Amino acid sequence: MINVVLISDFIAINIKRDTYLPISANELQKCLRLNTNTNLCQLQKAIYQRDSDNNFCIKNPEEDTCRTTSATCKTTWTELNVINRFIITCCGQCTLRIICEDQITTEQVSGVNVIALGNNCVIKGEIFIITSHKQQTNEMKIKPDIIAVEIAPVSNIINLSVPHYEYKGENYQSSLRSISEQIEQMKAPRNR
């Protein structure tokens, strides 16, 4: 893998994009963050005119080309200044598992990739695990989190009808007399 040797970890560029200054990671952390793309820094450093992007690398003294180094390829990740954004450098092809709550997605990536990770998500690579930063937010729900489930009426599936008996105002006196007579007849043979 061939790497271009840069003049600094980061480059701060003015709003007009015509001047820049090299800045380290420590110096960048001391800056005031105005929004996701703008930092306000108080630095006492030389400011350079931006002629071309070739100014961002260390030059070879004998040629007008950027100095390079050769190294074995390493899979790495670097956190960007925007929350939950990362640069992932992958040697060959890498498999990333992205886990967000109850969903798991597998992605095949190669080369250099910028990945934006959602809240409560995790990226699992072969040699690293990246956890997203939870942004502090308030959530107000105006509807309940209840899932309406439709249930078919049970009586359509199983016959649950209750038998309906009509009460006929019958006189049970005759039935009771008949039962009483039968009881007396049963007792009679024993007495003999």
106 CB-contact burial (10 Å; exposed 0-12 / middle 13-18 / buried 19+) = exposed
Task: Find the radius of gyration of the CA atoms of the chain.
Answer: 41
CA atoms within 13 A on the CB side of 27: 15
Residue 46: the pLDDT is 83
pTM of the model: 0.46
8 neighbors 22 (Cβ within 8 angstroms): yes
Q: Tens place of pLDDT for every residue, the chain, 192 residues?
A: 677 888 888 888 888 888 888 888 888 888 888 877 777 888 788 888 887 666 788 888 888 788 888 888 888 888 887 788 888 888 888 888 989 888 888 988 888 888 888 888 888 988 888 888 776 566 767 777 666 666 566 555 555 566 666 656 566 777 788 888 888 888 876 555
Residue 154: the pLDDT is 55
